[in-house]
Chain A
Amino acid sequence: MSERVATTSRTDDDAERRFDAEAVAATLAGRTAAFDDLIEKYQRRAVSVAYRLLSDIEDAKDVCQDAFLKAFRSLTSLQEPERFGAWLMRIVTNLSLNFRRGRRPHLSLTTADGERGLEDRAADLSPRAIHKAGDPVQAAETQQAVTAAIESLPEQQRLALVLFAIERLPQKEVAEILGCSIEMVKWNVFQARKKLKEQLSEHLEA
C-alpha cells in the first residue's frame, strides 16, 4: 500500500476556498442558484459520511438534505465562508448523530443489519469488496462484522475514524468538524483502529 499523499496542493486548496467563499457571498446576495454549486460540490462527501454513520442510504439522503437546508438557513452565521465545507460536514455529522439517537431501538444500526439476510446485504456491497472476499456472502459477513465493531466504538472515535481513516478528510478539517485538536483526532483514530484490529482479527487474516 502506498503512503497517503496530499491530493491537492496549497494552490488548489486556496482555489477551493475561494470558490466556496464566492458561492456563499452570491447566495447571501440573493442569488440562490449559487448554492447549487455548493450542493453539487459537497453532496457526495456529505451523503457518504452520513451513510457510514447511519447505515441506511435513504436516511443518509434525508439527513443530508436537511443539512443543506440548515446550512442555507444559517448561512449568515457562517463566520468564514471559505470554510463552508468543514462547516457543512459538521452539520451533517451532528444531524446524523441526532438522527441515530432519535431512531427507535429496533431500528438501530446493528439490529437493523441483523434483521436483514446476508444475501440482501451482499446485494448492497461494492464489487471491490466482493472481489476481495471472493464470495458475496463472506463479504457481507465481513461488512456486518465491521459495522458491529464500528458501532461499538465511542462516538468521538467512530467519527474520527469515519472522517479521517475512511473518508480521508485532512486531519485539520476533521479537527474543525469535531471541534477538537488535531492531536485528539490522531489519538481517537489510533484507539479506534486498535480496537477494530482486535475485534476483526479473524476477518483480517490473509
Chain B
Amino acid sequence: MTDESEQLERLLSELHDGHLADEQLADARRAIAEDPDAAATVRGYERLDGVLQDWQVVSPGMDWEAFARQVSSRVADEAEERDADESAKLAAVDRLIGDSVEPLPAVDWDVLKSRISRAVHEEAAEAARPSIKPSQSWRRVVGWTGRVAVPLAAAAAVVFLVWGPWMGGPPGPGVSAGPIVMVSLEMPDSVGQISVTFAEEPADGDYDVPPLVMGTAIAVGPSTGNNTTFEEPMDEAYFY
C-alpha cells in the first residue's frame, strides 16, 4: 500500500468520526464518487463500526441502581473507616501528649539570660568588624581557605628550596637551632604578581610576626644559600 492510498484509507475510515476538516471531507466524498474501491472501503468501515457497536454491550437488564448502591455502600464504609482511623490517630496523639507532659525542670533564668546575652554580644562584635558584613566575612574565609592555599603552598616550596634540609620540624635534641625565616606574601602588584619577602631572624632573637592578613610561612633552619624567584600571576582576590 502506497503512502497515498494509506492516507486515503485513513481519511475514509475517519469519515464518520466528526473531526475531519471541510477540505478533507470534500476529498473523501470526491474519492467515493469517483472510485468504486474507495466506496467499498467506506462501506467496509461502516459495517465494522456497526459490528463494534453491538460488541459486548452491557445487558439492558443490568440493575444500575443496585450497582450504585453497592459501590456507594463500599465508599461509605471506606469513609467511615478512614474517619475512625483519623479519630484513633488523633486520640493516640492526645494520649501521647497527655502522658508525656511533665513539669518543666528548674531553670536558672539569670544564668541562661547571661549566656544568651554573651552569645549575642559576641555575634554582634563579629558582625561589627569594619566594612565586612558577616556574609562577606564568611565568603572571604571560605575564599581565603580555598584560594590562598595556592600561594601558601608556593611559598612553602620556596622556603623548602632555600631552607630545604631543615623543613619538616624544629631541630631535635643535639641539633643547634638555626635562624628562623619569615616568608610573607605581599599584595599583588599591578601586573598581578606577588612578591615574597624573606626576613631571617636569629633562632633566639625577637622578631615581629607579620600581620596574618597576608599568607605567612615560617621555616626553621639554616639557609641553603640558593636564590629563587617566585612569580605567578595571581588574582587579587587571593588576598584580603
Chain A residues at the B interface, C-beta cutoff of 8 Å: 1-6, 32, 35-36, 39-40, 43-44, 47-48, 51-52, 55, 57, 60-61, 64-65, 68-69, 72-73, 124-126, 128-129, 132, 139, 142-143, 146-147, 150, 161, 164-166, 171, 186, 189-190, 193-194, 196-197, 200-201, 203-204, 206
- Interface majority SS on B: helix, strand, loop or mixed? helix
In the complex, what distance in Å separates the CA atom of A56 from the CA atom of B183? Answer: 90
Chain A residue contacts of B54, Cβ below 8 A: 125-126, 128-129, 132, 139, 143
- Do B78 and A73 touch (CB < 8 A)? yes
Number of A-B contacts (CB under 8 A): 123
In the complex, what distance in Å separates the CA atom of A124 from the CA atom of B64? Answer: 17
- Do B16 and A3 touch (CB < 8 A)? yes
Give the Cβ gap from B66 to chain A, nearest Cβ, in Å: 10
Give the Cβ gap from B85 to chain A, nearest Cβ, in Å: 12
B39-77 vs A, CB cutoff 8 Å, 1 = contact: the mask equals 000011111111111111111101010011011101110
Known contacts: A165-B52, A200-B51. The answer to whether A43 contacts B67 by CB under 8 A is: yes
B82-96 vs A, CB cutoff 8 Å, 1 = contact: the mask equals 000000000000000
- Do A166 and B52 touch (CB < 8 A)? yes
Known contacts: A39-B68, A72-B78. The answer to whether A147 contacts B58 by CB under 8 A is: no
Give which listed residue, B9, B55, B56, B58, contacts A194 with CB less than 8 A: B9
Does B14 have its Cβ within 8 Å of any Cβ on chain A?
yes
Does B13 have its Cβ within 8 Å of any Cβ on chain A?
yes
In the complex, what distance in Å separates the CA atom of A164 from the CA atom of B57? Answer: 15
Known contacts: A32-B76, A68-B71. The answer to whether A194 contacts B51 by CB under 8 A is: no
Q: Interface residue tally of chain B, by bracket?
A: 35 or more
Known contacts: A55-B56, A190-B13, A197-B44. The answer to whether A142 contacts B74 by CB under 8 A is: no
Chain B residues at the A interface, C-beta cutoff of 8 Å: 9-10, 13-19, 43-60, 62, 64, 67-68, 70-72, 74-76, 78-79
- Do B13 and A194 touch (CB < 8 A)? yes
Chain B residue contacts of A186, Cβ below 8 A: 14, 19
Give which listed residue, B16, B58, B60, B75, contacts A4 with CB less than 8 A: B16
Chain B residue contacts of A57, Cβ below 8 A: 58-59, 62
In the complex, what distance in Å separates the CA atom of A139 from the CA atom of B10? Answer: 28
Chain A residue contacts of B72, Cβ below 8 A: 35-36, 39
- Do B71 and A4 touch (CB < 8 A)? no
| 8 sampled A-B residue pairs with Cβ under 8 A | A36-B68, A43-B68, A47-B62, A64-B71, A72-B79, A132-B50, A146-B55, A171-B19
Chain A residue contacts of B16, Cβ below 8 A: 1-4
- Do B68 and A166 touch (CB < 8 A)? no
Kindly report which residue of chain B lies nearest to residue A55, judged by CB atoms: B56
Give which listed residue, B18, B51, B55, B79, contacts A5 with CB less than 8 A: B18
- Do A143 and B56 touch (CB < 8 A)? yes
